């Protein structure tokens, strides 16, 4: 069972850009859309996944270019820090 922190709000945020969940979903969808568009144009794409730098050429499987020693970026941790 995964431990989760439940957030209960009595009202909705006035501005959607103040909502962390909306921002995370927006960033994920934008990244996937950009990847799809680059691949449709036949461009090679480089991206980070699970601490590895991957190269994804059109028509090929992703290949590992390098292993990154930098920890993954956590948007929730960044936005909720003191």
Q: Which tens digits make up the pLDDT trace of 66-76? A: 998 877 778 88
Nearest one of 39, 31, 33 to 56, comparing CA atoms: 39
The predicted structure's pLDDT at residue 19: 74
pTM for the predicted model, two decimal places:
0.54
What is the Cβ-side half-sphere exposure of residue 42, based on CA atoms within 13 angstroms?
A: 0
Identify the three-state secondary structure at position 40: helix
CB of 44 closer than 8 Å to CB of 56: yes
Residue 23 has pLDDT above 90, yes or no: no
Identify the three-state secondary structure at position 70: coil
Residue 29 has pLDDT above 90, yes or no: yes
User: Mean pLDDT over residues 29-50, rounded?
Assistant: 90
């Amino acid at each position: 069972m995964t431990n989760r922190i439940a957030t209960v709000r009595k009202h909705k945020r006035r501005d959607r850009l103040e909502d962390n969940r909306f921002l995370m979903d927006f960033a994920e969808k934008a990244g996937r859309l950009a990847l799809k568009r680059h691949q449709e144009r036949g461009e090679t794409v480089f991206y980070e996944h699970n601490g590895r730098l991957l190269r994804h050429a059109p028509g090929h499987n992703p290949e590992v270019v390098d292993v990154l020693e930098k920890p993954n970026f956590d948007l929730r941790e960044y936005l909720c820090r003191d």
